């Protein structure tokens, strides 16, 4: 109980962020369900073309940008307070939360009223109403306040505990927030200095300049989602299995690499963009391979941890440890393991994307949609869902409702994502486009055209299979949200946990990895090298602003 009183404000912020994240998951998930069916020929057409693009925008913004971010805020606040046992700066936290929630609601209104059909990447020349871009700026400022509260708390703790190692979970949270703070300033510049004037005065905007700064942000954004999931794989996951991560040092090395290498790679989203020198694109390809290294380290570390846990349970021989794990019994273990497997598959399609020349074959196809559903929708979201089974009771003091159904949630999510992910990767190789209402396209409704475009006909079964996968994991999501909202509002009270939260391995003395300021500095130096070159190229050539285009 005493912890609850000590962290009253922090817990309230974490609870608001968590509930809001679930509302966003519901909203974004609903449109996902509608569009996966609608865009598959021969499946129920549940959306008009206009609603498809509005819904796709909401789907991306609500899920990719906001569901993840709000869940991460809740996790960060909970981990920092419990692990470091210190309070966080209340005005920063509260102010940040109000701005982020308020901005998100305003942005959602803009999208739902058709004033911002610009997809989750919102780059020009697509025009939206000022409400949308101002909402984005407000959200960014809110996240900076929350980020400042996290950094300040970790810094204060380090001062109070000289010579002590930062605990692993806090280290992961710090890496996440530091990446966000490094990644967002140029985006804020592009939104405030370019998009807001564009939306108010119809001012022309240079598309390439904007895209450069969007992808400067857009890549670390994906690691901002991944690193908290990896933090859970290194801390909560081994605890669920009654052990600790196999190698704490390798875990910290992975976080360090994520921190220093996740920003200077954004050009791998712009391989097909004209006006950026190929040498810079090659540089970003090489750095992208560097940022895949911590994920390989993670693969090794997580599997070694699983082997340790399996052998502790009496598993023998080369594979006996696998069958000794609590398969099908523990929803947290099952969910996180499934998440890791989905991420493993998507990691390999990521390495394909990163290869400068191979990328031309998959860019802007459904392959990319398969890739990012298995990463952020599979690896990250399923980890967050499984962690909710522990976090919700701890924060709300209520026992989960319908415990015997919980195992169905990760199972449906895994099977559905697997089917969807494989189908979309394959249909992408057949060059089905992403972000297109294909079922309404002329070629599907004209048999002569369909016959002459031989690849297009082959899309149909894969799009239909993708729709089946989408419906299966939508069911898993619906069950999760039903049980979770029932728990939050009606679950049997179990009292709040007053005990310590021991999720990280026992910290030892400080090491090189604890020089957080130095690591942030190294990250900044690499970013400057990787981005000054294309920036100088673009600015020295001179900008060529183009008029915005209002999608309708
Ligand atoms: Fe990515 C596009 C490259 C990781 C998310 N990515 C996207 C987009 C999103 C996204 C949202 O280079 C679309 C953006 C848009 O709207 O246009 N990505 C990579 C690479 C990696 C990678 C090299 N992506 C992620 C993660 C994401 C994410 C993580 C979210 C959380 N991605 C790209 C590129 C593009 C791209 C290009 C642009 C493409 C284009 O043309 O537009 C890597 O860092 C991945 C490394 C991971 C591994 C896996 C290690 C395995 C583990 C599991 C162990 C378990 C095992 C058991 C072994 C190397 C940790 C499983 C067993 C199996 C069955 C395998
Ligand atoms: Cu990327």
Atom of ligand 1 nearest to the CA of 222: 30
CA distance 446 to 332: 49
> Residue whose CA is closest, atom 45 of ligand 1?
347
Name the residue among 174, 300, 304 with its Cα closest to residue 243.
304
As given in the structure block, the two tokens for residue 422 are: 């494989």
**Residues near ligand 2 ion, CB 5 Å cutoff:** 219
CA distance 535 to 15: 41
CA distance 312 to 316: 10
Q: Which of 222, 246, 265 to probe ligand 1 with, by most ligand atoms within 8 A of CB?
A: 222
Query: Which residues lie with the beta carbon below 6 Å from any ligand 1 atom?
Result: 121, 222, 225-226, 268-269, 288, 291-292, 295-296, 298-299, 340-341, 343-345, 347, 350-351, 353-354, 359, 363, 368, 371-372, 375-376, 380
Length of the chain equals 552
Name the residue among 250, 241, 230, 229 with its Cα closest to residue 321.
241
DSSP 81-137: HHHH-----HHHHHHHHHHHHHHHHHHHHHHHTTS--STTT--TTB---HHHHHHHH
CA distance 183 to 218: 8
Distance, CA 285 to ligand 1 centroid (Å)?
13
31 and 56 in contact (C-beta within 8 Å)?
yes
Q: Which of 61, 353, 377 to probe ligand 1 with, by most ligand atoms within 8 A of CB?
A: 353
Distance, CA 364 to ligand 2 centroid (Å)?
13
Q: Tell me what pLDDT residue 452 has.
A: 85
Instruction: Starting from the CA of residue 269, give the closest ligand.
Output: 1
As given in the structure block, the two tokens for residue 323 are: 């069958």
pLDDT tens for the chain, residues 1 to 552: 444 468 999 999 999 999 999 999 999 999 999 999 999 999 999 999 999 999 999 999 999 999 999 999 999 999 999 999 999 999 999 999 999 999 999 999 999 999 999 999 999 999 999 999 999 999 999 999 999 999 999 999 999 999 999 999 999 999 999 999 999 999 999 999 999 999 999 999 999 999 999 999 999 999 999 999 999 999 999 999 999 999 999 999 999 999 999 999 999 999 999 999 999 999 999 999 999 999 999 999 999 999 999 999 999 999 999 999 999 889 999 999 999 999 999 999 999 999 999 999 999 999 999 999 999 999 999 999 999 999 999 999 999 999 999 999 999 999 999 999 999 999 999 999 999 999 888 888 888 888 888 889 899 999 999 999 999 999 999 999 999 999 999 999 987 665 567 899 999 999 999 999 999 999 999 999 999 999 999 999 999 999 999 986
Q: Using the 8-state DSSP alphabet, how is residue 400 labeled?
A: P
Distance, CA 223 to ligand 2 centroid (Å)?
9
> Residue whose CA is closest, atom 12 of ligand 1?
354
Atom of ligand 1 nearest to the CA of 265: 12
> Residue whose CA is closest, atom 1 of ligand 1?
350
Query: Vertex 534, ends 529 and 538: CA angle to 5°?
Result: 145
Region label for 340, one of left (φ > 0), alpha (ψ between -120 and 50) or beta (otherwise) = alpha
As given in the structure block, the two tokens for residue 61 are: 């913004």
CA distance 124 to 134: 15
> Residue whose CA is closest, atom 47 of ligand 1?
347
Our measurement of the distance from residue 539's CA atom to the centroid of its chain's CA atoms, rounded to an integer in Å, reads 31
61 and 117 in contact (C-beta within 8 Å)?
no
Q: Which residues of 117-134 are buried (b: 16+ CB within 10 A; e: fewer)?
A: bbbbbbbbbbbbbbbbbb
Which residue carries 């920063």 as its tokens? 92
Region label for 89, one of left (φ > 0), alpha (ψ between -120 and 50) or beta (otherwise) = beta
Name the residue among 153, 145, 206 with its Cα closest to residue 180.
145
Instruction: Starting from the CA of residue 371, give the closest ligand.
Output: 1
Instruction: Starting from the CA of residue 123, give the closest ligand.
Output: 1
Count of CB atoms situated within 10 Å of the CB of 160? 10
> Residue whose CA is closest, atom 3 of ligand 1?
350
Atom of ligand 1 nearest to the CA of 120: 16
Instruction: Starting from the CA of residue 375, give the closest ligand.
Output: 1
Instruction: Starting from the CA of residue 357, give the closest ligand.
Output: 1
Distance, CA 372 to ligand 1 centroid (Å)?
7
Name the residue among 410, 404, 356 with its Cα closest to residue 385.
410
Name the residue among 396, 362, 234 with its Cα closest to residue 299.
234
Distance, CA 395 to ligand 1 centroid (Å)?
32
As given in the structure block, the two tokens for residue 317 are: 């021989």
Distance, CA 348 to ligand 1 centroid (Å)?
7
> Residue whose CA is closest, atom 10 of ligand 1?
372
545 and 204 in contact (C-beta within 8 Å)?
yes
Name the residue among 441, 364, 431, 450 with its Cα closest to residue 49.
441
Q: What are phi and psi of 447, to 5 degrees?
A: -55, -35
CA distance 487 to 116: 35
Atom of ligand 1 nearest to the CA of 218: 14
Packing angle of the helix pair 68-84, 381-396 (nearest 10 deg): 50
CA distance 273 to 266: 12
ipTM: 0.94
3-state secondary structure of 38: helix
> Residue whose CA is closest, atom 16 of ligand 1?
121
Q: Tell me what pLDDT residue 1 has.
A: 43
Q: Which of 359, 372, 379, 429 to probe ligand 1 with, by most ligand atoms within 8 A of CB?
A: 372
The 3-class SS string of 466-485 reads: HHHHHHHHHHHHHHHHHHHH
| Active site members | 219, 223, 371-373, 434-435
Residues 6 or more apart whose Cβ sits within 8 Å of residue 454: none
Distance, CA 390 to ligand 1 centroid (Å)?
27
10 and 83 in contact (C-beta within 8 Å)?
no
Distance, CA 372 to ligand 2 centroid (Å)?
10
């Amino acid at each position: 109980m005493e912890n609850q009183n000590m962290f009253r404000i922090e817990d309230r912020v974490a609870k608001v962020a968590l509930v809001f994240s679930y509302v966003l998951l519901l909203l974004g998930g609903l449109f996902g369900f509608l569009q996966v069916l609608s865009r598959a020929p021969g499946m129920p057409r549940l959306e008009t073309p206009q609603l498809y693009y509005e819904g796709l925008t909401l789907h991306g913004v609500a899920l990719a940008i906001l569901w993840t971010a709000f869940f991460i805020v809740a996790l960060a606040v909970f981990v920092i307070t419990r692990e470091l046992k210190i309070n966080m700066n209340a005005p920063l936290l509260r102010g940040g939360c109000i701005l982020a929630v308020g901005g998100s609601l305003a942005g959602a209104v803009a999208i739902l009223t058709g004033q911002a059909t610009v997809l989750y990447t919102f780059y020009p020349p697509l025009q939206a109403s000022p409400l949308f871009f101002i909402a984005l700026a407000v959200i960014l400022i809110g996240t900076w306040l929350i980020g400042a509260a996290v950094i300040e708390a970790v810094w204060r703790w380090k001062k109070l505990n000289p010579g002590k190692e930062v605990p692993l979970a806090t280290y992961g949270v710090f890496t996440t927030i530091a990446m966000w703070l490094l990644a967002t300033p140029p985006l804020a510049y592009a939104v405030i200095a370019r998009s807001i004037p564009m939306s108010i005065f119809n001012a022309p905007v240079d598309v390439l300049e904007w895209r450069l700064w969007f992808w400067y942000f857009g890549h670390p954004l994906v690691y901002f989602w991944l690193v908290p999931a990896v933090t859970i794989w290194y801390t909560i996951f081994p605890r669920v299995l009654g052990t600790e991560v196999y190698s704490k040092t390798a875990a910290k090395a992975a976080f360090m690499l994520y921190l220093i290498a996740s920003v200077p790679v954004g050009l791998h989203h712009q391989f097909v963009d004209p006006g950026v020198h190929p040498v810079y694109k090659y540089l970003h390809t090489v750095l992208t391979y560097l940022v895949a290294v911590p994920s390989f380290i993670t693969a090794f570390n997580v599997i070694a941890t699983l082997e340790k846990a399996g052998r502790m349970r009496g598993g023998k021989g080369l594979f006996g440890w696998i069958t000794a794990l609590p398969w099908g019994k523990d929803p947290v273990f099952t969910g996180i393991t499934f998440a890791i497997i989905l991420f493993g598959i998507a990691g390999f399609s990521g390495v394909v994307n990163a290869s400068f020349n191979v990328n031309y074959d998959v860019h802007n196809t459904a392959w990319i949609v398969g890739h990012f559903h298995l990463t952020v929708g599979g690896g990250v979201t399923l980890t967050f869902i499984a962690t909710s089974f522990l976090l919700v009771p701890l924060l709300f003091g209520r026992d989960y409702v319908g415990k015997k159904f919980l195992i169905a949630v990760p199972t449906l999510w895994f099977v559905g994502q697997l089917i969807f992910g494989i189908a979309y990767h394959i249909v992408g190789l057949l060059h089905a486009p992403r972000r297109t209402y294909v079922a309404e396209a002329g070629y599907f409704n004209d048999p002569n055209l369909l016959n002459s475009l031989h690849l297009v006909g082959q899309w149909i079964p894969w799009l239909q299979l993708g729709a089946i996968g989408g419906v299966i994991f939508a069911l898993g999501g619906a069950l999760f949200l039903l049980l979770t909202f029932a728990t939050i509002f009606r679950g049997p009270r179990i009292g709040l946990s007053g005990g310590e939260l021991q999720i990280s391995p026992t910290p030892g003395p400080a090491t090189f990895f604890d020089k957080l300021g130095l690591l942030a500095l190294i990250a900044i130096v690499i970013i400057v090298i990787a981005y000054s070159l294309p920036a100088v190229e673009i600015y020295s050539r001179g900008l060529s602003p183009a008029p915005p285009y209002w999608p309708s």
